[in-house]
A and B are shown apart, each in its own frame.
Chain A
Amino acid sequence: MTKQKPIAEGLFTWPAAQPALLGSRCNDCGIVSFPAAQSCMACSGQDVTVEELPRRGTLWTWTVQRFMPKAPYHSDETEQTFQPYGVGYVELPGGVRVEGRLTENDPAKLRIGMAMDVVFEPYRHEANGDEVIGFFFRPAA
Chain B
Amino acid sequence: MDVAIVGIGIHPFGRTPSRSGLQQGAYAARLALKDAGVAWSDMQFAFGGSASAGSADALVNELGLTGIPFINVANGCATGGSSLISAYNAIKSGEYDIGMVAGFDKHDRGAFNADPEALGIGRWYGELGLMMTTQFFAMKIQKYMHDYGISRETLAKVSEKAFINASMNPNAWRREPIGVEEIANSQMVSDPLTKFMFCSPSEGGVALVLCRADQARRYTDTPVYLKAATLKSRRYGSFEVFAPSQALQQVDGPTVDASRAAFEMAGVGPGDIDVMQLQDTEAGAEVMHMAENGFCEHGEQEFLIQSGATRIGGRMPVNTDGGCIANGEPIGASGLRQVYENVLQLRGHAGERQVPGNPRLAYTHVYGAPGISAVTLLQN
Contact = CB atoms under 8 A, between A and B. Distances in A.
Contact of B236 (A42, A70, A75): A42
A97 B128 CA distance: 17
Contacts of A120: none
A8 B124 CA distance: 6
B128 A96 contact: no
B235 to A, nearest CB: 9
A14 interface: no
Contact of A63 (B126, B127, B191, B245): B191
B116 to A, nearest CB: 7
Interface in A47-77: 60-67, 69-75
Given A63-B142, A87-B139, A69 B129 contact: yes
Contacts of B129: 65, 69, 73, 75, 85, 87, 101
B143 A112 contact: yes
Interface stretch (B38-46, B107-115, B270-278): B107-115
Interface string B100-139: 0000000000110101100000111011111110110011
Contact of B139 (A71, A88, A107): A88
A69 B122 contact: no
Given A8-B122, A89-B246, A112-B143, A69 B189 contact: no
A63 B138 contact: yes
Contact of B135 (A63, A75, A123): A63
B130 to A, nearest CB: 6
Contacts of A122: none
A70 B140 contact: no
Interface in B243-258: 243-248
A67 B248 CA distance: 30
Contact of A72 (B113, B187, B236): B113
A130 B139 CA distance: 33
Interface of B: 110-111, 113, 115-116, 122-124, 126-132, 134-135, 138-140, 142-143, 146, 187-192, 236-237, 243-248
Given A63-B139, A97-B246, 5 more contacts: A23-B245, A31-B247, A65-B190, A91-B248, A123-B128
Interface of A: 7-8, 11, 23, 31, 33-35, 41-42, 60-67, 69-75, 85, 87-89, 91, 95-101, 107, 112, 123, 134
16 contacts: A7-B128, A8-B123, A34-B245, A42-B247, A66-B187, A69-B113, A70-B111, A72-B113, A72-B126, A87-B130, A88-B139, A91-B248, A96-B248, A99-B130, A99-B243, A100-B128
